[in-house]
Chains A and B, each alone.
Chain A
Amino acid sequence: QQPVQSPQAVILREGEDAVINCSSSKALYSVHWYRQKHGEAPVFLMILLKGGEQKGHDKISASFNEKKQQSSLYLTASQLSYSGTYFCGTEGGTSYGKLTFGQGTILTVHP
């Protein structure tokens, strides 16, 4: 079953912050975040492993609450280059190695 991402779409002005949520109905080993720009392949952002960790690089960070089976991606001081579709992928349940992605969140950053 696909994880559920929210919101489905978000529009920002440069410099604003955004949070994208990813929720699963099964126990998770890991959560993967990718960004895809229009007409391109998805690009890796980060992976969070079971253990409730938080990761970040530059102004993009993420948290993973394994008890709630949820992850959140935080984008601070957004830039035009952040525009794209963000996908969370989850690995868990009884399927070791299988990665299931959410439907995506479209992020648009305006000047």
Chain B
Amino acid sequence: EAQVTQNPRYLITVTGKKLTVTCSQNMNHEYMSWYRQDPGLGLRQIYYSMNVEVTDKGDVPEGYKVSRKEKRNFPLILESPSPNQTSLYFCASSLVRGYEAFFGQGTRLTVV
């Protein structure tokens, strides 16, 4: 089944404790991206990747890191999480830029 898989689905952590949210797709898509969703603000892109080893900043990259060492995986790293990073996070992939995006099921992160 074609899908984008994020893990974990739910995470509660403490300020400053490094964490990684994984994202994996099995569709051989080139384009992948991360979004955060907050009430009233819609979806805001954090980082995107046009292909392996090619990543670029979205609209809200501060406090986040990503890597794209292989096509299928695009992990989101929070080196020192803060409470203002409490949010619902979505990973998405598409065949290439400008095509239909498939979203993962979301990760609800709470930083206390």
Contact = CB atoms under 8 A, between A and B. Distances in A.
Interface in A63-111: 87, 89, 91, 96-104
Contacts of A87: 42-43
B98 A30 contact: yes
The SS class assigned to the A binding surface is strand
Contacts, number: 59
Interface string B97-112: 1111111111000000
Nearest to A5: B42
Interface stretch (B12-20, B44-52, B65-73, B75-83): B44-52
A101 B45 contact: yes
Interface of B (DSSP majority class): strand
Nearest to A8: B40
Contacts of A91: 97-98
A101 B42 contact: yes
A47 B98 contact: yes
B105 A41 contact: yes
B62 interface: no
B100 A101 contact: no
Contacts of A52: none
Interface in B7-46: 31, 33, 35, 40-45
A13 B57 CA distance: 41
A106 to B, nearest CB: 11
A55 B43 CA distance: 23
A6 interface: no
Nearest to B47: A98
Interface of A: 2, 29-30, 32, 34, 41-44, 47, 49, 87, 89, 91, 96-104
Interface of B: 31, 33, 35, 40-45, 48, 50, 56-59, 90, 92, 97-106
25 contacts: A2-B42, A2-B44, A2-B59, A41-B90, A41-B104, A41-B106, A42-B90, A42-B103, A43-B103, A44-B100, A44-B101, A44-B102, A49-B98, A87-B42, A87-B43, A97-B31, A97-B50, A98-B56, A98-B57, A99-B58, A100-B44, A101-B42, A101-B44, A103-B42, A104-B42
